[in-house]
């Protein structure tokens, strides 16, 4: 069977992300160098100093950034040529929810990515998602009245409602207080989907299966948290 398969099947199905000889160059500056990776664990984190290329790396995985050289494929779909299919498999939660939330009310915002579905299906997904994340009572609320934590949750719900297999979170806890960081950690624990996350919050990464350490655009370490976190701490010392 080819790697390419139907997009919507069992949520727990592993989607395979492949990077072949991938480099990214902005103007003359190479931000990521010759990456070759096969990603199929459920919980993958990307760590590194500011400017090491983490954000560019995760943006490659749903076609927000295209490789200058090489190919990125998700279940065989090429991000360069099949971006639409890729984005149905891989959802992306931005670091700042204000970049993600575009509609005036919670309900309108969460409907935005699924508005082409049937009415009953839209209703089912909205209710289920808002209920699960404790936002149902805020359904009619204007988004500018939400707290920072509620906005981050809404941004995550806006991606979950599209039922992707893989969710990318780019530093999801950076702007949150301790209470909301714990909530995000709980959400990550309870999701069925694959998570690929960048973070400086090393405590959040203990349960992850695989950690990629980027340094100046190179992948310099790729291991479990028990090896990768001490390595990274030594690198940053
Ligand atoms: P990190 O997420 O680890 O902080 P980034 O991927 O955001 O790193 O950035 C890596 C490097 O690429 C930085 O030096 C940044 O200035 C540069 N960079 C990122 N995006 C662009 C862009 N669109 N154009 C030019 N340079 C960029």
**HSE-CB of 119 using CA atoms within 13 angstroms:** 0
Is 63 within 8 Å of 55 (Cβ atoms)?
no
User: CB–CB of 70/34 below 8 Å?
Assistant: yes
Q: How many CA atoms lie within 13 A of 101 on its CB side?
A: 23
Is 9's pLDDT higher than 80?
no
Rounded CA gap, 165 and 109, in Å?
21
Could you give the 3-state DSSP secondary structure of residue 15? coil
Q: In what order do the strands lie in the sheet with 166-170?
A: 90-93, 166-170, 194-198, 43-47, 210-215, 218-223
Residue 234 burial by CB count (10 A; 0-12/13-18/19+): exposed, middle or buried? Answer: exposed
User: Which residue is listed with tokens 């690198």?
Assistant: 235
Distance 118 CA to ligand 1 centre (A): 39
pTM tops 0.85: yes
Q: With cut-offs at 50, 70 and 90, classify the pLDDT of residue 210.
A: very high
Q: Measured between alpha carbons, how far is 113 from 31 in angstroms, rounded to an integer?
A: 30
What is the pairing mode between strands 29-39 and 43-47? unpaired
Which domains, from first to last, does the chain contain? 12-230 (3.40.50.300)
Give percent of the chain with pLDDT exceeding 90: 73
Ligand 1 geometric centre to CA of 102 (Å): 24
- Please state the atom number of ligand 1 nearest to the C-alpha of residue 65: 23
Of 45-49, 179-183, 212-216, 228-232, give the lowest mean pLDDT range. 179-183
* Reported confidence tier of residue 14, pLDDT bands at 50, 70, 90: low
Pairing of strands 69-74, 17-26: antiparallel
User: Residue 173 pLDDT > 90, yes or no?
Assistant: no
pLDDT tens digits for range 114-136: 989 999 999 999 999 999 888 99
Question: Positive or negative CA dihedral for 72, 77, 78, 79?
Answer: negative
The residues near 232 (Cβ < 8 Å, ≥ 6 apart) are 47, 48, 202, 211, 213, 221
Task: Report how far ligand 1's centroid is from the alpha carbon of 16 (Å).
Answer: 25
- Is pLDDT larger for residue 95 or for residue 44? 44
* pLDDT, mean of residues 49-59: 96
Pocket test for ligand 1, best of 51, 64, 65, 99 (most atoms within 8 A of CB): 51
Percent over 70 (pLDDT), the chain: 94
Identify the residue whose C-alpha is closest to ligand 1 atom 15.
51
- Ligand 1 midpoint to CA 1 (Å): 38
Label residue 5 by pLDDT band (50, 70, 90): very low
Best mutation site among 56, 92, 217 for ligand 1, i.e. most ligand atoms within 8 A of its Cβ?
A: 56
Is the pLDDT at 1 greater than 70? The verdict is: no
Q: Are 64 and 48 in contact (CB under 8 A)?
A: no
pLDDT for residue 203 = 87
Residue 27 CB contacts under 8 Å (≥ 6 apart), including other chains: none
Place of tokens 């209703």: 123
């Amino acid at each position: 069977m080819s790697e390419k398969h139907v997009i919507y099947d069992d949520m727990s199905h592993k989607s395979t992300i492949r990077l072949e000889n991938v480099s990214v160059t902005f103007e003359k500056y190479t931000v990521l160098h010759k990456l070759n990776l096969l990603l199929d664990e459920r919980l993958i984190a990307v760590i590194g100093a500011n400017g090491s290329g983490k954000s560019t790396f995760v943006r490659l995985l749903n076609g927000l950034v295209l490789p200058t050289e090489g190919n990125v494929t998700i279940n065989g779909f090429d991000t360069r040529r099949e971006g639409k299919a890729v984005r149905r498999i891989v959802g992306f939660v931005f670091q700042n929810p204000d970049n993600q939330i575009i509609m005036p009310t919670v309900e309108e915002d969460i409907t935005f990515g699924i508005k082409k579905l049937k009415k009953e299906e839209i209703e089912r997904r909205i209710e289920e998602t808002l209920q699960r994340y404790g936002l149902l009572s805020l359904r009619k609320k204007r988004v500018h009245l939400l707290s920072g934590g509620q906005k981050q949750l809404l941004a995550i719900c806006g991606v979950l409602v599209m039922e992707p297999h893989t969710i990318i979170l780019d530093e999801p806890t950076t702007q949150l207080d301790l209470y909301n960081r714990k909530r995000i950690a709980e959400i990550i624990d309870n999701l069925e989907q694959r998570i690929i996350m960048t973070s400086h919050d090393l405590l959040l990464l203990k349960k992850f299966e695989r950690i990629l350490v980027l340094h100046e655009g190179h992948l310099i370490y790729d291991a479990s948290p028990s090896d990768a976190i001490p390595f990274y701490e030594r690198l940053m010392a």
